[in-house]
Structure 1
Amino acid sequence: MSVHSPRPRVVTNGDVRLAVYEQGNPDGETLVLVHGWPDTHELWGHVIAHLEDRFRIVSYDTRGAGASSRPTAVSAYALPLLAGDLFAVIDAVSPDAPVHVLAHDWGAVETWEAVCEPGAGERIASYTSVSGPNLDHLGAWMRRRLAERRPAGPLAQAIASGYTVLFQIPVVGTLPFRLGLSRIWPTFLRFFDRMDPALVRPAPTLRADMITGLKRYRANIRPRLRHPRERRTDVPVQLIVDRRDLAVRPVGYEDTGRWVSNLRRRELPAGHWSPISHSADVARLTAEFVGDLRAETATDSADGASA
């Protein structure tokens, strides 16, 4: 885990208070980390240990998780509002320079929403996505595959995502978490993701985070898959594809290059929670991506100066 204690602060976005934590190299480029469900900022502890000497690292508890606000309405978890939280954090911690973003699971879904917004490149220099698709891209891909009578890929993803149907049913969807799944979470991840349960450090708010976080599924899954929007971005994007991911199948990224002008794809022999099980690899790929982009920018600047 990180050897330096994070410095906490609060960033507000309207009525929502976001618990934000800063650590690492204060002179390094800023890297913002966005966790998914049912995690908190603590998901990134193993990754941060590999990056804190190089980057100024900012992580935060997304709305509904950890020490951040927990709005009660399902509509408060719609993707535009979640993307607004990310932008609020970026504007607070790095008002004068764009940041790099690394995000996982629903954090990745939220960041996809942000990078496809107009002007996103002025605030986000690069985006590394782990196990969280753009829901509009996914919906458009499923529609294309079905129209071409090639249903195998969408069927595989639908089977993998079958649990999300349960999550969208009020009361019923919360039962596994009210009945104690949070108490055996490391053991569950051992069987689901083939990881060492000793690596898993559940947050004390895990049970509440599990239940509140289901509102993300209810607010966004059906609207975005049924009515996908055209969502494009010129922000450089790196996909870290976990080949053994049981929740987000790799085939679902087949069309991502249609929507992203600068796309890199890397694969890991990992399950869904690779930031825990393969933290060194996730950190290395993120740092390499940022370094390569910096080198490309320097080359372009040198070519322009010599022209």
Structure 2
Amino acid sequence: MVVRVILSLVALCFGGLSHAASEAVKVYSQLYPSSPMLTEGYAQVAGRRLHYVTAGEGPLVIMHHGFPGFWYVWKNQIAALSESYRVVALDGLGANLSDKPQQLWAYDIGRLAEGLDLLAQQLAGDEPFILIGHDWGGALAWSYAQQYPQRLHKLIVLNAPPYNLFLDLLRENKQQQKASTYVEVLKQPVVEYMLTAGDAYLIWRSAYQKAVGREFLTQREGELFRQALAVPGAVAGGINWYRANVPKVDHISVEDYWPRSNPVVRVPSLLVWGEKDKTFVPEFLETLPGYVSDLTIEVIAGAGHKPNLSHPQQVNRLLRQFLCDSEC
């Protein structure tokens, strides 16, 4: 393990940022002028380049978004937590300014977890850190905690079940099967082409137009998400997470589970759940305690799948409260 880490680590490098990335940082800085300064960087991880932003000093907090998104989905949480923590918000593999490999094996959840561990090693050595994930980033965060419990201090997930629990739901829960019919549609090349066309307008409209209309995002911020999705390969990169990790329902087998079919998370964990989420069936909240030995569940009334954007004050309060249980 030590040899592999040493061979994989490359010094962090800065610069070479696109207009879209610089614009996002500029917008953030204007919205949160009193927050710690936000800077950008790249890390070379297992042969892939990952882009991230960072702010603040203190214990390391890594944030991983879902699809379709990029680091800016955490704007409210970066501002809140960077007062006490060193916050690092990633562009996940395939998103925005991070690399977008075409090979599906690069998006295998086990490889993604290994890459996340190598990144954390670069940022904080062997020091345990705090991991926060949403949607696909949340499923990855659960899996990382199952495989690398010694590396985490605490785990926070927004609106996502563990990856292996999600596979269980797909196999056994008719409502989840119905809610997830979009997955097989997404995988089709013609759909990828349609979603990429027009600077990714269709997928942007589906994911973020309402957020702009409800003023969770400004018009200018909405355009940042449009630009991130319009980066060549970004839509395909997000869809490749599904292609690599979600088999057809009748093809799911024990070999698809990672790291195992039912490993227990032995890290203090918080699930923040928007009660109106339509991506995952709420029944998994009853099953989740069997997967996590030290679990807190907080439900936000009226919130949907993106409570980090729609209900930032409540989410930030829950995050601070959970992180301060043993530290403040």
Q: Does TM-score exceed 0.5, indicating one fold?
A: yes
How far apart, in 1, do the equivalents of 2:51 and 2:199 lie?
A: 25
Structure-to-structure mapping, 1:1-307, within 5 angstroms = 1-3=31-33, 4-24=36-56, 26=57, 28-117=58-147, 120-140=148-168, 146=172, 154-169=173-188, 171-180=189-198, 182-183=200-201, 185=204, 188-191=207-210, 195-196=214-215, 198-199=217-218, 200=222, 201-202=224-225, 204-207=227-230, 208-222=233-247, 225-227=252-254, 228=257, 229-268=261-300, 269-294=302-327
Structure 1 residues 278 and 86: CA distance shift in structure 2, 3 A:
same
Q: Cα distance, 1:190 vs. partner?
A: 4.5
Native 8 Å contact 1:242 1:250 kept in 2: no
SS of 1:116 mapped into structure 2: helix
How far apart, in 2, do the equivalents of 1:212 and 1:16 lie?
A: 13
- Uncovered stretches (5+) of structure 1, i.e. residues with no partner: 147-153, 296-307
Q: Cα distance, 1:286 vs. partner?
A: 1.2
Native 8 Å contact 1:39 1:209 kept in 2: no
**1:257 maps to amino acid:** P
| Most deviating of 183-192 and 10-19 | 183-192
- The RMSD of aligned alpha carbons is 2.4
Q: TM-score when scaled to structure 2?
A: 0.78
Kindly, what percent of the aligned residue pairs are identical? 23
Native 8 Å contact 2:131 2:156 kept in 1: yes
Q: Cα distance, 1:58 vs. partner?
A: 0.9
Q: Cα distance, 1:173 vs. partner?
A: 3.1
| Most deviating of 231-240 and 246-255 | 246-255
Q: Cα distance, 1:231 vs. partner?
A: 2.2
SS of 1:44 mapped into structure 2: helix
SS of 2:283 mapped into structure 1: helix
Native 8 Å contact 1:131 1:245 kept in 2: yes
Native 8 Å contact 1:243 1:267 kept in 2: yes
SS of 1:205 mapped into structure 2: helix
How far apart, in 2, do the equivalents of 1:161 and 1:193 lie?
A: 25
Q: Cα distance, 1:121 vs. partner?
A: 2.9
Q: TM-score when scaled to structure 1?
A: 0.83
SS of 2:105 mapped into structure 1: helix
Structure 1 residues 2 and 87: CA distance shift in structure 2, 3 A:
farther
- Uncovered stretches (5+) of structure 2, i.e. residues with no partner: 1-30
Native 8 Å contact 2:61 2:85 kept in 1: yes
Structure 1 residues 283 and 243: CA distance shift in structure 2, 3 A:
same
Structure 1 residues 198 and 14: CA distance shift in structure 2, 3 A:
closer
Structure 1 residues 205 and 191: CA distance shift in structure 2, 3 A:
closer
How far apart, in 2, do the equivalents of 1:108 and 1:59 lie?
A: 13
Name the residue aligned to 1:149.
none
Instruction: After superposition, give the CA deviation of every residue in 1:40-72 in whole Å (9 maximum; x if it has no partner).
Output: 111111222222212211111111112111111
Structure 1 residues 126 and 87: CA distance shift in structure 2, 3 A:
same
SS of 1:36 mapped into structure 2: coil
**1:276 maps to amino acid:** L
Instruction: After superposition, give the CA deviation of every residue in 1:202-245 in whole Å (9 maximum; x if it has no partner).
Output: 15231342222100001001189543422222011111111111
How many residue pairs end up in the alignment? 281
How far apart, in 2, do the equivalents of 1:222 and 1:174 lie?
A: 18
Structure 1 residues 196 and 121: CA distance shift in structure 2, 3 A:
same
